[in-house]
């Protein structure tokens, strides 16, 4: 693909770095700093996390989302302990089996219509299998926002976490787009995690204006029994020049910039949604809550639009496309794209 | 469980060792023998396998069925290559994630009604996922006989193997009960494997009269690119006193003893089936083809019968039980068990 | 190698099965038995282990020595925790990196002249490396008897275990030939393990008259935090027909048969040693304590003798050979072999 | 450590990002870009690598040095294939066993006086062990510059690579500081790698002025048999916003900036060396070739200087310290540090 891109609607990871984040990187580039996180930027970024998620929060920065998920789950699971995840989970479909390879843990993919897990989906695994022969379900991993652009309501999260707790299961949230979910629900990050009983979080910065910045948060420092620092290192996620990742997080968590970026991304998707609802031949296939729209439309139309804008066909068989917006998408970008869609369908 | 067992209907692995197999072990216990397979018994056993499956067969003995499946698949798959298997596969539900831990490979469990995979089940995985992000489907693993006591017809196997071949997939058969399937279908072992295009086989002896004896067969010596001997060793499946495993296989493959044992096991199940069909309150839930019957019956009846005979409740929610017979089950055992079932339901 | 063997001096794993052990296998072959260790033979074998090693002993049977070592260490080590072992350890040189592959743990091989580790060898690792960057030394693994046919004295073991304890290290003994060491030292098995503070043991039966029978013992049931049953299963070391392994151990531990076999093996080596000391051109290179002799002799002589007797050149560069005896080696065998050596050198 | 740092002499990873590299990051922050390397910056960076190392160079960017080493070696080694490395290798002492955990491969650490491997060090491993029992030596991994600040001369590299080639071994270079070595030797990067027969390279940017930028280069595209893209992904080293890593490499390789930074770092070490040679009480312990000095001095002196400057005690037992300089170290920094050393020792 060598398309000269104006604005991509393919993924929020196609976005540039937000100016405040880039400024923070530049500002951190003064003089020497001790490696591996023993620096002032990291200390401040960790403090920001604790302000956001509570004092008992244990934070580890990673390079990418797969690194965050694998570090989080490998710190909590022994190799015979399994993860229950939606069949649509990034962990299941987009991490090339990194968890299986690194930690040996099995993932049980659970088919759901909307990419959300509920207690009834977990129930059958509670007493499945025969003793040591069956991989032991130990963690539930959910994505908030979901891979289909949906969100778990706070009450759904609480119910799932309570269910997990009653059955000795840990709850991990893949929050590559937690900011978008919080923006959509009008809540704090904490209300979606610590407050409802989530145990571990992969918190994404990269898709929300950062250069590359992901973090693993444990909300009870004892839960990983000292494993996390070693897992982070073995998982090749420990940066020597940590200050440059920390500075991004400090900037992102300051003055609710994370919320500002995410709200904007969501608003641009809402704007696009308003447009496409009225374009005949386009059927929006899933609830639009955050910064993604899923839709089916004619294959020929898709091809015509892809000549001008970059986006992915999510499911070739239908075909179903995914359109995403991000912190840098402008109303003008959206309108141009919508016009293009409209023209292409004419 | 400290029940003094008369005859177990729980599993064919509850059986004793058949006299001809035990005799072969005793006969091999003469003098010294070089370790790790460099002995006359192993040479003869390998020759027997080649006679049965063809000259290009490459054989490795393992200690148990999980060892065989993991050795077979780990010799063929790189860690980012995935296995497509029925959700009911032993590999998925009864090996505690050994393959994931040892080889890092993902298993995609495919839900089917009868535990059998067909091309249409595989189709959706052929173009699933996005490039390197998605674990690459590389092998299909099926169980013959299935975990539900069913069998693949030769034509079904051929169709699946041809489909696999067209799409660059390898076919592995978990043949812990291949003998029972061959007996049921009235075919040779070869007709169910090499002749239809199967690439690799876990061939079971333990459930068919042996003490402990499993084997991995590759039907094209080049297919594992030299990996298998090292995989067998690293998977802790290389016996020093190999002659005692080899002798079992030589005995099993001589004069079609494998067929004799399996036919008997199947016949005992047929006899039991004939009985229970007429017992009211027992519903046989799956086709009876080999040496297993699945049935639903009243929970109280189950408990009464379990006081006298050992067997497993396969699915607690229904409840559905599994009854198995083996080479040593006698008509008298069957009749006693059937009588007990009848009395318990009265 | 298709040499017709009379008596091998290559390894104690070239031996046949002792009659009492084979008799026990035959005796266990009565009727059905529940799989995976839930049977009377396993219960009795475990009781025998507890009688030998104390009531707090937790026992898991495995198929081979690599399986025992990997099961023991993987139950105790997290993947970033390392093993300190002599560079000559079976774990290091003869298990094809099975521990690394299965558990991810690093082995630090420590060069020693006699294959024995002492506190001074461990000392440099106590403060080596920088924090999370360095694999964390957590276990010491020693072989008793050593791979060079030597033994640790009780006092040496005690000193090593106390040192380990002071520094938070676990002590594992690879006791593939623990019986030979106990015979050489005139002690109980317990005196060499529990009583001196060993934490985990791989106890070998295969090289001491069994068909295939190895066991992992933990002397504090809490030490593996519930891991061992799952590790045993994932490591492909859980036998379905467990009674046939258990019966061997019951027989081996009954009436000190283990001692009887080991003493005989050692005595045959002593007899051979007495012979070869007087043969010119043969230099015994290491202390002879158990059932192995290491010696250098002329390469041409080696080749002549190998035409009649099977044994290994241990170190091709010198060349240094290893001669081993076992429970079934007879005085006549030894004398014939010694005569052959003498003639060959003439 | 909460020392307010003026200039660190601890490690070249304590350095800030060089202005030209930071400028390149800023310049790349324009508009959207497709993720995972399908962008113009990556294409140009790869072209720069091919210009530097030859057209057959296959390049993969990673996040850190451990990620580069693990990606390189895991693309080339099967889990039973072992690496021969100096006992001082970063791979052995500073990557927390990441390779063992991720790929299962054993590392054989070879003790050398200067951290350099020579054919004579490898020789004993060529015929070590017995068949499948011994992990199969397959790769040699060396560090250029070495962990002791030394360099391999071109002739040494050629000899090692030819030796490796004759014996079917692959040569991997951990080039975290390859630039410093090339600067020291006055050669091109290519002269130290492709031209002498190196097969794979971890090329470091982070320690040479970059923010975070490491690359794996294979000099024969076929050598990894298609593994590398999947390994990179599973090793959690595939960046979504790849342009920000690529832009750094493009800048680094443009106009020989890599050489400019490395030369400066080396020159600052030479300047420091000139100073300390004349300070009594300081003994430089290893040849000074690149940007590191190793020295022994009085423990009390070390402590006094550490109150003002940050650096590591490399070996606590002597004590031996390591002092490093980098692209941003100034002559004034060096002089201040030298003065401090002088005063502290007075």
pLDDT tens string A178-215: 999 999 999 999 999 999 999 999 999 999 999 999 99
Query: What are D227-267's pLDDT values in tens digits?
Result: 999 999 999 999 999 999 999 999 999 999 999 999 999 99
- Does the pLDDT of residue D1 top 80, yes or no? no
Boundary (domain end) residue, out of C209, C227, C255 = C255
Instruction: Tell me what percent of the residues of chain D surpass a pLDDT of 70.
Output: 98
Whether C96 sits inside 8 A of D135 (CB atoms) is yes
Residues in chain A closer than 8 A to B137 (CB atoms): none
How many beta-carbon pairs below 8 A join chains B and D?
30
Nearest-CA distance from A312 to chain D in Å?
A: 11
Q: What is the pTM of this model?
A: 0.97
Q: Print burial letters for C76-97: b (CB count within 10 Å at least 16), e (below 16).
A: bbbbbbbbbbbbbbbbbbbbbb
Mind telling me how many Å the CA of B346 is from chain A's nearest CA? 30
Task: Report how far residue A337's alpha carbon sits from residue A308's, in angstroms, rounded to the nearest whole number.
Answer: 9
Residues B337 and B239 in one domain: no
Q: Is residue C6 part of a domain?
A: no
pLDDT per residue as tens digits for the range D188-224: 999 999 999 999 999 999 999 999 999 999 999 999 9
Residue B130: per-residue pLDDT: 87
C250 & C333 share domain: no
Task: Choose the mutation target among B101, B234, B236, B325 for the interface with C, i.e. most C CBs under 10 Å.
Answer: B236
- Identify the three-state secondary structure at position A136: strand
Examine the domain organization and report whether C275 and C220 are in the same domain: no
D335 lies in some domain? yes
**Residue among B108, B104, B105 nearest B117 (CA):** B108
Task: Write out the two tokens for A45.
Answer: 């970024």
Residues of B290-326 as b/e, b for ≥16 C-beta within 10 angstroms? bbbbbbbbeeebbeebbebbbbbebeeeebbbbbbbb
Chain C closest-CA separation from residue D255 CA (Å): 35
Contact assessment for residue A189 and residue A179, using Cβ atoms and an 8 Å cutoff: yes
Strand ranges (E), chain B: 58-62, 81-86, 107-110, 136-143, 170-175, 200-204, 214-218, 283-284, 292-296, 312-315, 320-324
The answer on pLDDT for D4 being more than 60 is no
Q: Classify each residue of C57-70 as buried b or exposed e, where b means 16 or more C-beta atoms within 10 Å of its C-beta.
A: bbbbbbbbbbbbbb
Query: For residue B344, what pLDDT band results from cuts at 50, 70 and 90?
Result: very high
Same domain, D226 and D293: no
The whole-number pLDDT of residue D129 equals 86
DSSP element (H, E) containing C140: strand C136-143
Chains meeting A at 3+ CB pairs closer than 8 A?
B, C, D
Q: What is the mean pLDDT of residues C212-234?
A: 97
Based on the domain organization, do B262 and B289 belong to the same domain? yes
pLDDT in tens, B166-175: 999 999 999 9
pLDDT of residue C3: 46
pLDDT of residue A169: 98
Position C87 in a domain: yes
Q: How confident is the model at residue C5 (pLDDT cuts 50, 70, 90)?
A: low
Do A245 and A262 have their domain in common? no
- Would you state the structure tokens that stand for residue A101, as one six-digit string? 């390879």
The Cα B31–Cα B28 span in angstroms is: 9
Q: Name the residue in chain C with its Cα closest to that of B69.
A: C236
Residue B75: closest CA among B274, B218, B265: B218
Domain residues for D54?
19-255
Same domain, B158 and B90: yes
- What are the angstrom distances between the C-alpha of C213 and each of B138, C36, C237? 36, 15, 11
A74 and A138 Cβ atoms separated by less than 8 Å? no
d(CA C35, CA C241): 5
Q: What angle do CA B147, B149, B150 make, to 5 degrees?
A: 100
Any idea what the CATH number is for the domain that residue C161 is in? Answer: 3.40.640.10
Mapping DSSP to helix (H, G, I), strand (E, B) and coil, where does residue A223 land?
coil
Query: How would you class A316 by CB atoms within 10 Å of its CB: exposed for 0-12, middle for 13-18, buried for 19 or more?
Result: exposed
Three-state DSSP state, C203? strand
List, for residues C128-140, the tens digit of each pLDDT value: 888 999 999 999 9
Whether residue D31 is contained in a domain is answered as yes
Structural domain contains residue B265: yes
Which chain B residue has its CA at the smallest distance from D75's CA?
B78
Tokens standing for residue D119: 């054919």
Here the ipTM equals 0.97
Residues 6+ apart with CB under 8 A from B251: B20, B21, B23, B24, B257
**D26 with A30: Cβ contact below 8 A:** no
Number of domains in chain D: 2
Measure CB to CB from residue C104 to each of D97, D129, D134 and give the nearest one. Answer: D97
Is residue A230 located within the same domain as residue A115?
yes
For A105, name the nearest residue in chain C, comparing CA atoms only: C234
* Domain stop point among C255, C283, C304: C255
Q: How confident is the model over B5-39, as pLDDT tens digits?
A: 579 999 999 999 999 999 999 999 999 999 999 99
In a domain, B72, yes or no: yes
A1 pLDDT band, cuts 50/70/90, is very low
Per-residue pLDDT at A50 exceeds 60: yes
Question: Distance between CA atoms of B31 and C258, rounded to whole angstroms?
Answer: 20
Do C196 and C211 lie in a common domain? yes
Given this model, what pLDDT does residue D211 score?
98
CA distance D298 to D318: 9
Interchain CB distance below 8 Å, D63 and A26: no
Specify whether A232 is located in the same domain as A321: no
Encode chain D in three state secondary structure.
CCCCCCCCCCCHHHCCCCHHHHHHHHHHCCCCCCCCCCCHHHHHHHHHHHHHHCCCCEEEEECCHHHHHHHHHHHHCCCCEEEEEECCCHHHHCCCCHHHHHHCCCEEEECCCCCCCCHHHHHHHHCCCCHHHCCEEEEEEEECCCCCCCCCCHHHHHHHHHHHHHCCCEEEEEECCHHHHHHHHCCCCHHHCHHHCCCEEEEECHHHCCCCCEEEEECCCCCCCCCHHHHHHHCCCCCCCCHHHHHHHHHHHHHHHHHHHHHHHHHHHHHHHHHHHCCCCCEECCCCCCCEEEEECCHHHHHHHHCCCCCEEEECCCCEEEEECCCCCCHHHHHHHHHHHHHHHC
Hey, of B65, B100, B134, B137, which one would you mutate to test binding to chain A, going by the most A CBs within 10 A of its CB? Answer: B100
The whole-number pLDDT of residue D5 equals 59
Residues of A in contact with D75 (CB under 8 A): none
User: CA angle, D112 as apex, D107 and D114 as ends, to 5°?
Assistant: 120
- The confidence band for A95, taking pLDDT boundaries of 50, 70 and 90, is very high
- Could you give the count of Cα atoms lying within 13 Å of B108 in the half-sphere of its Cβ? 29
Q: How far is D224 from chain B (nearest CA, A)?
A: 12
Q: Are D77 and D52 in contact (CB under 8 A)?
A: no
Name the token pair of B15.
Answer: 């059986």
Residues of D in contact with C124 (CB under 8 A): 317
CATH number for the domain harbouring residue D270: 3.90.1150.10
Count the Cβ atoms, other than its own, within 10 Å of residue A125.
Answer: 19
User: What residue of B is the nearest CA neighbor of A103?
Assistant: B101
Q: Answer yes or no: is D191 within a domain.
A: yes
Asked if residue A8 is part of any domain, the answer here is no
Provide, as residue numbers in chain D, all residues whose Cβ is less than 8 Å from the Cβ of A64: 63, 236, 238-240
Contact A98 D236 (CB under 8 A): yes
Spell out which chain B residues touch chain A, with contact meaning CB-CB distance below 8 angstroms.
79-80, 82, 93-97, 100-102, 104-109, 111, 124, 127-130, 132-135, 312, 316-317
pLDDT in tens, B242-265: 999 999 999 999 999 999 999 999
What is the nearest CA distance from C133 to chain D, expressed in angstroms? 4
C337 and C312 in one domain?
A: yes
Distance CA D95, CA D71 (A): 13
Q: Return all residues near A26 (Cβ < 8 A) that are at least 6 apart.
A: D22, D26
Contacts of D234 in chain B (CB under 8 A): 79-80, 104
Tell me the chain A residues in contact with residue D205 when contact means C-beta distances shorter than 8 Å. none
Q: What token pair was written down for B31?
A: 């003098």
CA distances from B79 to B76, B297, D36 (A): 10, 43, 21
Q: Which residues, in sequence order, are bridge partners of residue D216?
A: D60, D202
Average pLDDT, chain A: 96
Of D102, D109, D127, the CB nearest to C316: D127
Q: What secondary structure does DSSP assign to A114-134, as a single string?
A: SS---HHHHHHHHT-S-GGGS
Phi-psi region of D46 (alpha: psi -120 to 50; beta: other; left: phi over 0): alpha
Residue-level pLDDT at A346: 60
The distance of C288 to chain B (nearest Cα, Å) reads: 23
Phi, psi for residue D175 in degrees, rounded to 5: -105, 40
Residue where a domain stops, chosen among D213, D229, D255: D255
Q: Which of A236, A248, A326 to mutate to test the interface with D (most CBs of D within 10 A)?
A: A236
Does one domain contain both B292 and B167?
Answer: no
| Percent with pLDDT over 90 in chain B | 96
The two tokens of residue C232 are 């045993």
CB contact (8 A) between residue D33 and residue A16: yes
Q: Tell me how far CA of residue B329 lies from CA of B261, C37, C241, C329, D123, in angstroms.
A: 10, 21, 16, 41, 60
């Amino acid at each position: 693909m060598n398309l000269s891109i104006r604005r991509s609607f393919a993924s929020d990871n196609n976005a540039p770095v937000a100016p405040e984040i880039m400024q923070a990187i530049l500002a951190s580039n003064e003089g020497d700093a001790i490696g591996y996180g023993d620096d002032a930027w990291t200390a401040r970024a960790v403090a920001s996390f604790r302000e956001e998620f509570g004092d008992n929060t244990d934070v580890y920065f990673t390079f990418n989302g797969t690194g965050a998920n694998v570090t989080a789950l490998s710190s909590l699971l022994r190799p015979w302990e399994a993860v229950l995840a939606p069949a649509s989970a990034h962990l299941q479909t987009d991490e090339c089996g990194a968890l299986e390879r690194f930690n040996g843990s099995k993932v049980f993919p659970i088919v759901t219509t909307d990419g959300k897990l509920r207690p009834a989906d977990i129930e059958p695994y509670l007493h499945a299998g025969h003793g040591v022969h069956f991989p032991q379900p130990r963690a539930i991993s959910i994505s908030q926002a979901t891979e289909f652009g949906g969100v778990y309501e706070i009450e759904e999260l609480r119910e799932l976490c309570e269910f997990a707790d009653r059955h000795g299961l840990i709850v991990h949230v893949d929050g590559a787009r937690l900011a978008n979910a919080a923006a959509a629900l009008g809540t704090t990050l904490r209300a979606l995690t610590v407050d409802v009983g989530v145990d571990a979080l992969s918190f994404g910065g990269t898709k929300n204006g950062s250069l590359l910045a992901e973090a693993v948060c444990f909300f009870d420092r004892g839960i990983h029994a000292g494993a996390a620092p070693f897992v982070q290192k073995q998982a090749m996620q420990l940066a020597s020049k940590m200050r440059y990742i920390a500075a991004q997080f400090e900037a992102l968590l300051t003055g609710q910039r994370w919320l500002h970026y995410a709200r904007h991304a969501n608003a641009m998707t809402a704007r696009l949604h308003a447009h496409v609802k009225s374009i005949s031949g386009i059927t929006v296939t899933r609830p639009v809550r955050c910064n993604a729209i899923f839709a089916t439309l004619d294959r020929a139309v898709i091809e015509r639009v892809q000549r001008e804008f970059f986006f992915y066909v999510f499911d070739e068989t239908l075909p179903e496309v995914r359109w995403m917006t991000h912190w840098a998408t402008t109303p003008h970008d959206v309108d141009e794209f919508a016009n293009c869609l409209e023209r292409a369908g004419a």
